[in-house]
Amino acid sequence: MKPVIFGLAGHSLSPDEAAFFKDSQPAGYILFGRNIDTRAQVRALTDSLRDLHGDNRLPILIDQEGGRVSRMKPPEWLAFPPGAAFDKLYDIAPASAIEAARANAEALALDLAEVGITVDCLPLLDVAVPGGTPAIGDRALGQEPLRVAALGRAVLDGLKRGGVLGTIKHMPGHGRTMVDSHMELPRVTASEAELEQDIAPFRALNQAEIGMTGHILFEAWDKERCATHSEWIIDNIIRQRIGFDGLLLSDDLDMKALAGEVPDRAARAVAAGCDIALNCWARMEEMIGIVNALPDISDASRARLDRAKAAIAPVTDWSHQAELIARRDALLALA
């Protein structure tokens, strides 16, 4: 098995993809809007991936946050609110906001589980700051670490109740950045004391099965390498200070924050300590290069992957989704 998660080109596996994936044995897959049409089509696609690997708990990921980051869209699927909706309610009714976030996440997870998606790249635990990059913006759960942690825990709980694992992101924190890492490398000049506040939600939820790095350079910790490529940050901050021992994914390797060819980016991420490199764009030449550049998955990473897969608890009943949505909407109306 190779320590990589790959994207797919279209609505179904092509013969070339099927042959390549069967031979290379990636750790999992991630879906985007280009892979999404109807419920029956997505279920057939995820079934074909599980059949290819003979693995009913194969990690199949998606970015389905709600708001502007939603790969599955109406009218085929429900629309879900962004994190800011729960942050707003928390101002006046914290317990109601937590319950609304939990109900929303469970309802969202039921949509994913129904079509065979097992992992959502949610929640963001990035602590927002005034004037920060719009790339985080209304996706964030708030500007106060304890609030972000409380709402993030509710999201993780709701997703798991709906048969889907969450992914805490973007470690060790994207909220303080002023630019979008999709477009350029963010440099954070904050002090150690300020960064301690940023990592607090990740520390509070460090028992999550899956986490994701951010492509961000933190000058207080590593003046030359972003978190995804920094062995020092992954070991000393993510593994030790945060205490996260779950499966660590890189963020998307195609983002412009990273330099160099994509296969080299993947190799550097794994060498730095990421368990899995994330490659989203399904370009066959790049995927072949990544497989050639990566070693086989390490024993430690394989153990973390196996622990995450074992935590997936499939659901077979989606009949209570409408009740969850009604509960969420009644609570959000309080704000």
Active site residues: 182, 251
Q: Which two tokens stand for residue 251?
A: 């963020």
**Whole-number Å distance between alpha carbons of 211 and 106:** 19
CB 252 within 8 A of CB 277: no
User: Residue 67: how many CB atoms within 10 A of its CB?
Assistant: 15
Q: What is the dihedral of CA 200, 253, 165, 153, to 10 degrees?
A: 20
Q: Any idea what DSSP says for residue 233?
A: I
The distance from CA 220 to its chain's CA centroid, rounded to whole angstroms, is 25
Q: Are strands 210-213 and 168-171 parallel, antiparallel or unpaired?
A: parallel
Q: Any idea what DSSP says for residue 295?
A: P
DSSP string, 40-93: HHHHHHHHHHHHHHT-TT--EEE-EEETTEESS-TTTS-----HHHHHHHHTT-
**Whole-number Å distance between alpha carbons of 174 and 16:** 37
